[in-house]
Amino acid sequence: MILAVAAIALLVGADQLIKYLVVRDFALGESRQFLHIGDTELMNLTYVRNDGAAFSSMSGQRVILIGLPLLLLGICIWAMWKYGRTSPFLKWNIALVMAGGIGNLIDRIFRGGDVVDYLDIRLFHFAVFNFADCCICIGVFLILLYMLFDKSETDRPKEQGDA
């Protein structure tokens, strides 16, 4: 568990460092080329602030956007404590979700309710997002895969007393 907590701290630190550099070096709304192949734009760095959740949903609902993640972080702590010892895969993916949640929660609390976003996919129209969002999405996706394909509960032979 100590390594998972250290990983969470490292990921949150990386998220906050990137956001600090974007806020320091970009004007709000400024966009710079980042990943391109020839004339095809794949991704730019674009500094925007989001006062909502995914795709700006629940915009301006700061109390909910702080309270709900706090509740979900509590559930993650419980899940990591309960299942993290038996499944390292699950533990590390819960840690990813927690790191992303904490990173965005720090923004919500200390940046007036806004989250700093900067990853702008240009190949197709998509929302601008950040490193913390990536951690959350990857962690949730892998947890869902684990839940779909883990056979440890169903493959165990039932013991004599089980009915």
Neighbours of 30 (CB within 10 A): 14
How deeply is 156 buried, as exposed, middle or buried, from its count of CB atoms within 10 A (0-12, 13-18, 19+)?
exposed
Among the listed residues 117, 120, 150, 162, the single catalytic one is: 117
Active-site residue flag, 133? yes
Active-site residue flag, 51? no
In angstroms, the CA 67 to CA 50 distance is: 17
Residue pair 1/84 in contact by the 8 Å Cβ criterion: yes
Among the listed residues 15, 107, 120, 133, the single catalytic one is: 133
Three-state DSSP at 26 gives coil
Q: So which residues are the catalytic ones?
A: 117, 133
